Each structure stands twice: as C-alpha cells, then as structure tokens.
Structure 1
C-alpha cells in the first residue's frame, strides 16, 4: 500500500517538523512518523467504509420506496443496493470488522454521506448507467467511474477528511489510486483481499524509521557535503525542503547499500517537483548527481548487487 516514495515524503515532512523545533526530539518524531504511516491505512479503511455508508443510504431510500404510506419509485435506487460489486465489498467480513474497529465512523457524519449520495444521484454518470444492461462488468465499471469522477475529485470530501487527520491530505491521492486499482481488479466469484498490507515487506516497514534516524543523526556531516558542492550559494538561500531532500539523498547513497543510485536520484527529483519550487528538481538532480560521482571516486559509495551504481 505504501510505496517507498510515499514513505520518503513522510520522512521529509518529519525532518522538516524537527527543524521547526527548538529542542529536537528524534524519538518523538519517530513515533509521529510511525503514526503517520499507520494513518494511511486508516484512511483506506475510512474510504472503503464510505462505500458501506452509501450502500446503507441506498437501502434506507429503497425501504422508503416500499412504504405503503409514502410509496415513491423515486426513492428506490437499484444502481446502489443491487450492485453486485458493491455487495461483494460490503459482505467481506474482514473488511467489515476493520471498518467497525476504525475510530472514525461515517455513522457520526450522516449529513455528509447524504450530501455525497445526492451528488452521485444527480451526476450524469448515474443517469447514463441507468440505461445500460446490468451485469457484473457494468456494475464494476460504474463503481470505478463513480469513484474517479465523483468521489476522488470531491473537494468537499478532501477538505472534510483533511480536517480529521493532518496527514490525510497527502495520503488522499495515494489511497484513491489504490482503491481504483482494487475496484478494477475485482472479478465475479473470485475471492479478493480487501485488506492489503500497509508495507510490501519487512524492509519497507523498517525503511522509513531508518531513513529518518540516519538522516537526522548525520545531518551536520551531510550538510557540509552540501555546502562544499554549492560554494556560490549562501546556505541560507537554499530552500529548506531542497536541503532536506539532498541530505536524504546523501543518506541513501552512503547508508543504504541496497538502494541503487539511479533510484535515489529519480525519487528525490520527482518529490521535489511536487513539494518544492519549480527549479528545485533540476538543482537537486545536479547536486546529487555530482555527489554520487564524487563519492564513487573517493570510495565512499559502496553498493551491494549488480547495477546499483
């Protein structure tokens, strides 16, 4: 679920937070980083729980449509409560248990579920879907398009969840991608794991904490490398995020022998494009590329395995 790039971003944010403190507390920041990574999984559960909340809302409306005193076909929304894919999601016991154990509950926010539900009903996508022949394939395509076009792009939903948890604003696009990919992979009568692991493996699980710790503990030494490669620059003029990303890159060069140099270069250039200034990616690429060549010539760059330089 968490890619290494996403982990790197969280480490960058933790280091930035440390720089804002008068008294650095690495242990506390490690705990925050771990909580931030765990919160990514919580957001996944919350957004999957949104499907359940929308389904329950459709059931309520269908029940109203059957009431003999207020019978109204406009209350019945079969695209929801009869959707085979949606039924597959809500019937998964492991996912249901995870949703019930999550501290955030959509039951406490019915007003927003109703707003989103009505927005879906008013969408062109919903109107077009009603005219299509109903089967598992069309049900799946409906949910995929619904998520991409209505839910994932809903700014009110983004703002609402960002207010609930400080780290969710950065996690939102990542989790949206994961959910869309999951929906596309669903097949009829095939068991699906709706609870993917937070980390790909044990090394990824340890990567974030190790990168934070080694970057912070070697900050003075790695800052000197940065200063030496930018003699024409006053250190204070280098954007703080750029300096952090460069020193994180140096950390990977010298302290993570299994990570290829090219991977480190590409990752921090891409992160800079999203989180720093327009010219930062070129600046960071130039400094890290020069440092990698210098470290190689000086025998400091020791990578394990083929093709890691």
Structure 2
C-alpha cells in the first residue's frame, strides 16, 4: 500500500523535521520514518471504518423515525438499501479489519458530529439518490456507491480534515493518497471472500522497505556533498536564498539518482518535480527541473551516474 511515491514524500518530511529540529542519530530518524509510515497505515483502516460508522448512524436514524410518537408512512416503511449495503456488511465482519482497529485503538468516538455531517452530505448527493431508487440492487452497485462516497464526500469534507489533523499530526498530508488506496481496496473486494477479504499490505514487498532505508541514509550521510553540488549548479543564486524545501527535495533526488541504478533518470526527475509542485512554492517545479537537469549532465560527464540497462524478455 505504501508505494514509492508516498515513501519519497515521507522521507522528505522526516528529513525536514530532522534538519529543523534538535540533533538526532540516523537510527532515530529511521525509526521516526517507519513510525510515520505505520501511522499512514492506521489512517487507511481508520478511514475505512467510516463506512461502518456512517451506516450505523443511518440505521439509528431509521430506528428513531420508527419510534416517533407519530411516525410518517415513510418512517414506518423506510428504504433500507443503504444500511443493507453488502460491502459494508462484509467489511464489518472482517476479522483482520476489526482486530486492527482494536489493537491500534482507532476510534471516531470523540467525533460524532463528523459522522453526522458526512451522512447528511451523502444524503444530498445525486449519486446517492440514484442508488437508493435504482432497480439494480447488487454487490457491485453497493461497492460503487462507497467508492463514490470516498472520492466525492469523504475526501472533500473540511470537518473531517480538521478532525484528522486534531487526531494525529502524521495524517495531515496523507488523506488524499490514503483515500485512493481505499477506493482501490473497495474495488478489490470480492463477495466470495466473505469475511476473509484481504486488505492492502503496508508494503508491497521488502524491496520498498530497503528503498526507504537506503534513500534516507543516503541523504543523511551525503547531504553536505549534495548541497555543494546544488550550490555549484545554482551560480545565479545564493544557497540561503533558495527555499529550504527545494534544497531538501533536490538532495533526496540526487541521492536516488546516484544510489539506485535501476531507477531511470526521467522517473526520478518527474517524481521530485511533482513533489516540489505540491510541497514547495509555485515556481519550485520548474526551478528544480532546471537544476537537476544540470546536475544529471554533470554527473554523467564525471561518470558518477551509472544506470543499469534493464533487459525485458
């Protein structure tokens, strides 16, 4: 689940805190990196749980309507399609899911107003009304509804963002990418898997873990060398006038260029240019692109940038 795009971002964030904070050992910084990654995985399950909690809230509203002193005909005979959603029913009985929430003590109990607001937003959506009135009532439709809810309601809700920031500082920048993982997870759900449905693993494989460690330590060990290289290729700029985040992004990019011969140059450059656009200034992407192009050219001339030739069968 934690792909290399997110790993690069996490490493930059951890290094930013490292350079701006008190002195720490490399091992401590590594532990902080993987703690941050674990918290992102927590957010994955925490946000998935919203589907169950919103459904439970909807069920409570139906029961409230039925128990009124003078319920309306609609309240006595409600449309229960939403609360009978097969995807949510499957999710709530999944042992891996419930065990993870319990073990990690993940709860929305302190934020009932967020659940209520999300439910009310869902009710107001055209796609929800279409779902509730559609004659097509199957498992795929149930999954499609929640994929839309996560993309069009949960991802965009400001109150949810505020509550997430309040709950954990590691989650502030992770919501968008975690929601994309959840949408992917819902698509992968199979009715045949029943309560044994597997979730995305924290890491795809050990290679990604090794990638994160090597990239982090590459910058920690060689950061000063990379800063000199950046300085040499920004002759019209004083280093202290360049945004610190830009320098840091370039340091990590150089580390990846030098230490990972199987990753193509253009892949590395594109990844860090995109990160710069999101996490630094408006002009950072263009600036970093130009500087890194010069550095790549210089490293190639000095035979310090060797890329493996990958042969595909």
TM-score by length of 1: 0.90
Shift of 1:239: 1.2
Which residue does 1:42 correspond to in 2? 42
Moved more, 109-118 or 259-268: 109-118
- Residue pairs, 1:183-194, within 5 angstroms: 183-190=186-193, 193-194=197-198
Residue 285 of structure 1, CA deviation: 1.5
How many residues in Structure 1 have an aligned counterpart in Structure 2? 307
C-alpha distance in structure 1 between counterparts of 2:66 and 2:75, whole Å: 11
Matched, 1:201 2:205: yes
What whole-Å deviation, never above 9, does each CA across 1:91-130 have from its counterpart, x for those lacking one?
Answer: 2222122122232212343343233223323433333322
1:178–1:70 CA distance, 2 compared to 1 (3 A):
farther
Question: Superposed, which structure 2 residues align to 1:1-309 within 5 Å?
Answer: 1-65=1-65, 67=67, 73-74=74-75, 76=78, 78-133=80-135, 134-190=137-193, 193-306=197-310
Query: In structure 1, the residue corresponding to 2:202 is in which secondary structure?
Result: coil
CA contact 1:162–1:169 (8 Å) conserved in 2: yes
- Does the aligned pair in 2 maintain the 1:80–1:86 contact within 8 Å? no
Q: What is the CA RMSD across the aligned residues, in angstroms?
A: 2.3
1:64–1:70 contact (8 Å) kept in structure 2: no
Please tell me whether the aligned partners of residues 57 and 114 of structure 1 are also in contact (alpha carbons under 8 angstroms): yes
Change (3 A) 1:102 1:108: farther
How much does 1:226 deviate? Answer: 1.0
Gaps of 5+ in 2: none
Displacement of 1:164 in angstroms is: 0.8
Q: Is the 8 A contact 1:53 1:107 kept in 2?
A: no
Q: What SS class does the counterpart of residue 105 from structure 2 fall into?
A: coil
Q: Please state how far the C-alpha of 1:267 moved relative to its aligned partner.
A: 0.9
The worse-fitting range, judged by mean Cα deviation, of 96-105 and 39-48 is 96-105
After superposition, the C-alpha distances for 1:161-211 in whole angstroms (9 at most, x for unaligned) are: 122111212110001111112223434435674421111110111222321
Instruction: State the TM-score, normalized to the length of structure 2.
Output: 0.89
Corresponding residue SS for 2:192: coil
Q: Say if 1:94 and 1:21 are closer, same or farther in 2 by CA, change over 3 A.
A: closer
Q: Distance in 1 between matches of 2:9 and 2:37?
A: 11
